[in-house]
Amino acid sequence: MTQLEESIAHLSRQVEELNEVVTRQDTELSKMTHRVRMLMQREAEREQANSGGVVLGDERPPHY
């Protein structure tokens, strides 16, 4: 009986630790999702204004 109680206590602690990890990851994921939305909105606004200004590695600058 004591061994079962110890196993249950150990498993309960593991569940609590996993719950903390999942909760922290959910918070981080929510923050990242919000940041990605903001970046996408900024990029859409930049494209609408036609002021991209980003030169890609394989793209020649306009003065060539």
Tens of pLDDT, residue by residue over 30-63, are 999 999 999 999 998 888 887 555 556 666 666 7
- Phi/psi of residue 48, nearest 5 degrees: -65, -35
What per-residue confidence (pLDDT) applies to 30? 98
What per-residue confidence (pLDDT) applies to 60? 66
pTM: 0.60
What per-residue confidence (pLDDT) applies to 41? 94
Name the nearest CA neighbour of 10 among 23, 26, 21, 18.
18
